Amino acid sequence: MPLFDLEEIEQAVRLVHESMQPTPQHAWPLICEEVGANVWVKHENHTSTGSFKVRGAITFMDWLNKAHPQIEGIVTATRGNHGQGQAREATAVGLKAKIVVPFGNSKEKNDAMRAFGGDVIEFGNDFDEAKLKAQEIAKQESLFLVPPFHPQIVKGVSSYAYELFTEIQNLDCVYVPIGCGSGICSLITVRDALKLDTKIIGVVSDKAQAAKISFESGGIRQTASANTFADGMAVRSPVKEAFDIYSKGAERIVAVSDDEISQAMRLYYSATHNIAEGAGAASLAALMKEKDKIQDKKIAVVLTGSNIDTELYCSVLQYKTPRVI
């Protein structure tokens, strides 16, 4: 049964579109030629924060204002895109926003979160440790803890899935990266609400395979590390609520290497002149890896974001894959 019914999804779409324009989907001929399929790119890099995450922040903040009007502010953990959206929407309604990131996080994402009104706090070696610090701050300062995955976040993110499925008919499958799961769960939710047969294929980094290992074993599994430069997928443990949805609704989960992600980033630039961050290019990397399976099919890939530090991106364009130890 879908997380939301079609009427609820369409209400969320209208709310999101009050704050932002729909993003485009294009079939770029050089990408289609490269993989031998009819490929549509959903351009979530074209939102006001450079990522799909702002959609979930819009609906979450609307819900929070109505359900908890006494709240003075929020705190959340992020690697950047989630934090930008939450900072933007929280400050827009007069709330303070504290954003916890791990040490060594993207400088340019940190700068963007501050520019959107967030108070950025560095703590821990990775997202999972930053998340624990956010929980501590929430208790100490009586701030509302915004989780990385929440039904009201999925509701807003579902607006991009709705745009895609209603604009492009008869898609055979959609490739989407998995971090904490709102993207893939939104696609599954809207697909099921629209009663479509499209297969949803998740993508993870081969250095952060918790979602794939959990999916294939049938239960939550953790990894000891998540050392990929594709920080939007650098998660050591799946979110259970998300896993409960994609474990049933996804077709399969594909792991891609940092080298394969870098190759996809370069293809995005040479074929479309769009910038993709690591996680943003992961779905195209998986499609390129599986191109023998999808010949002559109608496929969509989600370019989830473009927020990558200049130095890292220049390195990728020079055929030097960034390494995270």
pLDDT digits (tens, 9 = 90+) for 57-73: 999 999 999 999 999 99
Domain end point (choices 115, 146, 177)? 146
- Residue-number span of the structural domain to which 71 is assigned: 53-146
Q: Do 299 and 169 share a structural domain?
A: yes
User: How many structural domains is the chain composed of?
Assistant: 2
Q: Do 173 and 135 share a structural domain?
A: no
Question: How long is the chain?
Answer: 325
For the entire predicted model, the pTM comes to 0.96
With helix as H, strand as E and coil as C, how does 265-302 read?
HHHHHHHHCCCCCHHHHHHHHHHHHCHHHCCCCEEEEE
Which CATH number characterizes residue 265's domain? 3.40.50.1100
Instruction: Tell me, yes or no, whether 284 lies in a domain.
Output: yes
Q: Do 181 and 44 share a structural domain?
A: yes
Phi, psi (rounded to 5 degrees) for 254: -110, 135
Q: Do 139 and 190 share a structural domain?
A: no
Q: Do 106 and 93 share a structural domain?
A: yes
Tokens of 16: 């999101």
Domain end point (choices 146, 171, 189)? 146
Distance, CA of 83 to CA of 245 (rounded, Å): 23
Phi, psi (rounded to 5 degrees) for 125: -90, -15
Q: Do 59 and 26 share a structural domain?
A: no
Domain end point (choices 99, 114, 146)? 146
Closest CA to 186 of 9, 44, 25: 9
Q: Do 278 and 202 share a structural domain?
A: yes
Instruction: Tell me, yes or no, whether 163 lies in a domain.
Output: yes
pLDDT given at position 3:
84
Instruction: Tell me, yes or no, whether 123 lies in a domain.
Output: yes
Q: Do 180 and 275 share a structural domain?
A: yes
pLDDT digits (tens, 9 = 90+) for 12-36: 999 999 999 999 999 999 999 999 9
Q: Do 132 and 262 share a structural domain?
A: no
pLDDT given at position 1:
59
First to last CA, the chain: 41
Instruction: Tell me, yes or no, whether 305 lies in a domain.
Output: yes
Place of tokens 């055929």: 319
Instruction: Tell me, yes or no, whether 323 lies in a domain.
Output: no
pLDDT digits (tens, 9 = 90+) for 152-199: 999 999 999 999 999 999 999 999 999 999 999 999 999 999 999 999
Q: Do 216 and 116 share a structural domain?
A: no
Closest CA to 146 of 155, 137, 20: 137
